[in-house]
Structure 1
Amino acid sequence: MGDLIARHAPTDLSRSAVPGLRLYASDRPTRMVSVNYDPMLCLVVAGSKQTMLGDVVYPYQAGDCLVVSAELPVCGSVIETPYRALSFDLNAATIARMMLEMGVPSLSDQPPPSGMRVARLDDDLLEPLARLVRLLDRPQEIAMMTPMIERELIWRLLNSRHAPTVCQIGSSESRLSGVNRAIRWIRDNYARPMRVEDLSAMAGMSLSTFHRHFRTVTTMSPLQFHKQVRLQEARARLLSGDDGAAETGFTVGYDSPSQFTREYARQFGLPPGRDRVRMRETLSAGGLSTG
């Protein structure tokens, strides 16, 4: 499957022709790159990578799968090459429908699991993932076969060790759903002032419960998460635009240019201007990867 992934992996990291499927290939180690993960199942086919969520490092290698249950800002780097991986979106509505058909109860009263989990891939999950990738060589079958393979994949996930995480994604009233509402607000409104009390009300939890569950899912406090989202957005703007550091800082919500520069350098290792030069040089050399 590694050769098939390398042949079809897009250079611009766009989605593949199969809805929900992304392919990743890198033939050289990469620097740490900031990216936002959405709920997904990721399989490493060859090589290895590490992903950081807050201060927690998740290493994974060929044969490992990564299950992401929330919208999370992470940093990742390819360690061992050639690196080949794929990911498939985990759609909450699809999971919810499957839970109803299977008679799986909602998890509204259970605490959410961590937002990321690494484990060896169950053999039952490999075949539907491989068939999704093979559809790229049979484009006439994509529209008909993808929904059926997705249903099988979700069914197998709901009957695997990942079931608690996947059920939380599909349970509209689960604790994870409340945390996800707060996460989505932060990601959509990162430049605005934030009150944790408002987020806890949005999540439908007491302040102490919200703090506890938010940290379980993201490994960060709401304030730390808010800052990381701002800094990652600033970095993306610096890479793609021509605004200076001060203007970029104001755009993402910082009132003080010095505070923005200080926190940016602490997060990424260089001040904004120098980091932009490094990123563009690395990108032109083909050394960035977010898969």
Structure 2
Amino acid sequence: MTLKAGAGIDRLSDLIAEIAQFDGDYDTAIPTLKMRRCSSTTEPMPCIYGLGLALIVQGGKRLMLGDEIFDYGPGQTLITTVDMPVVAYVTRASSAEPFLGMWLQLDARMIAQVAAEMEFATPIQASAGRGISLAALDTGLQEALTRLIRLLAEPALISSIAPLIQQEIVVRLLIGGHGPSLRRLIAVGSPSQQVAKVVAWLKQHYTESVPMDDLAARAHMSPSTFRQHFRAVVGMSPLQYLKNLRLLDARQLMLNEHLDAGSAATRVGYESASQFSREYSRLFGYPPNRDIKRVRGLREGHAY
């Protein structure tokens, strides 16, 4: 049974609000589970969403993937099956009704193991599909997520029970609206799985010189077929994806390790500082040094 927005998530909202009492991101004793609270809207922020499940219980959020826009709010779940370079921001939040949400990291091996033991009414399509999907929260999934969060109050039981609840969550995701996306991810030899493997490899080697034809060979596809399937799954070309990985990492290096723009550019694989500055400005809207000052100022002002 699908929940009506605002009708079946009150318990989840109360549980998340009890943990996330102030604005910010919250890790929990369950390593794959995180919470977030935000009392104001935020500006668009490029970031990477990995394999996981996002749920909003209060407020609203927008994700932009290339030219595609995904708006979601209370009672809606979002799944990403590969590392997706998106632009995300909170669109509905206030002091009286802050944005409240949770994120559950998923394990591809667990998904594959669970799916192997299940029977599905329809076979999975061999074509590549977008690695992001939205679906309404149903009663069974809501109850499983509620039990997972309540387990935080019993720390001695987390290591024994949390994996069982997470396995149930995976089962419910596979038979629900996100099922096709998850099944494409773990279907052996499928375009989505081959692209996911290349994405995982790129995450480890994005600072290196990476010929696009080599990526196609790694996916066991012709270059044109690979580019087509990559764009279908990730929403952008392999080259643009590689640029985004480098630029996002460079930004973190400047923010967290206080590197200057030239050093950060070199660290992530850029040979031209001017090219780095142009592409950085295109992605983040400001030149590197100006953007870093702006973001630090926003953090000090608790803007997000």
- TM-score normalised to structure 2 length: 0.88
| Cross-structure match for 1:123 | 139
- CA shift for structure 1 position 55: 3.0
With 39-48 and 181-190 compared, the bigger mean Cα shift is at: 181-190
What residue identity is the alignment partner of 1:165?
A: S
- CA shift for structure 1 position 11: 6.8
Matched, 1:73 2:85: yes
| Cross-structure match for 1:61 | 73
Matched, 1:201 2:217: yes
Pairing partner for 1:169 from 181, 185, 188: 185
Paired residue secondary structure (1:227):
helix
- Name structure 2 gaps, 5 residues minimum: 1-11
What residue identity is the alignment partner of 2:165?
A: I
What residue identity is the alignment partner of 2:202?
A: I
C-alpha contact (below 8 Å) 1:5/1:85 kept by paired residues = yes
Equivalenced residue count is 288
- 1:161-200, Cα deviation, whole Å (9 max, x unpaired): 2211111233343322210121122222222112111111
- CA shift for structure 1 position 2: 1.9
CA distance in 2 between partners of 1:123 and 1:246 (Å) = 51
- 1:216-260, Cα deviation, whole Å (9 max, x unpaired): 111101111111111111111111122211221122122111111
| Cross-structure match for 2:50 | 38
- CA shift for structure 1 position 282: 1.0
Q: Matches of residues 16-165 of structure 1 in structure 2 within 5 Å?
A: 16-81=28-93, 82-103=98-119, 110-165=126-181
CA distance in 2 between partners of 1:164 and 1:216 (Å) = 14
| Cross-structure match for 2:7 | none
- Name structure 1 gaps, 5 residues minimum: none
| Cross-structure match for 1:270 | 286
Matched, 1:4 2:4: no
C-alpha spacing 1:131/1:25, structure 2 compared with 1 (3 Å): same
- CA shift for structure 1 position 116: 0.8
- 1:35-62, Cα deviation, whole Å (9 max, x unpaired): 2211111111000011122332211111
| Cross-structure match for 2:5 | none
CA distance in 2 between partners of 1:19 and 1:244 (Å) = 33
Higher relative contact order (CA 8 A, sep 6+): 1
- CA shift for structure 1 position 126: 1.0
- Coordinate RMSD, CA, aligned: 2.1
With 159-168 and 97-106 compared, the bigger mean Cα shift is at: 97-106
C-alpha spacing 1:178/1:107, structure 2 compared with 1 (3 Å): farther
Paired residue secondary structure (2:53):
strand
Paired residue secondary structure (2:160):
helix
- TM-score normalised to structure 1 length: 0.92
Pairing partner for 1:13 from 15, 21, 25: 25
Paired residue secondary structure (1:286):
coil
CA distance in 2 between partners of 1:107 and 1:287 (Å) = 46
With 163-172 and 217-226 compared, the bigger mean Cα shift is at: 163-172
CA distance in 1 between partners of 2:274 and 2:197 (Å) = 32
What residue identity is the alignment partner of 1:4?
A: L
- CA shift for structure 1 position 109: 6.9
CA distance in 1 between partners of 2:27 and 2:84 (Å) = 19
Paired residue secondary structure (1:65):
strand
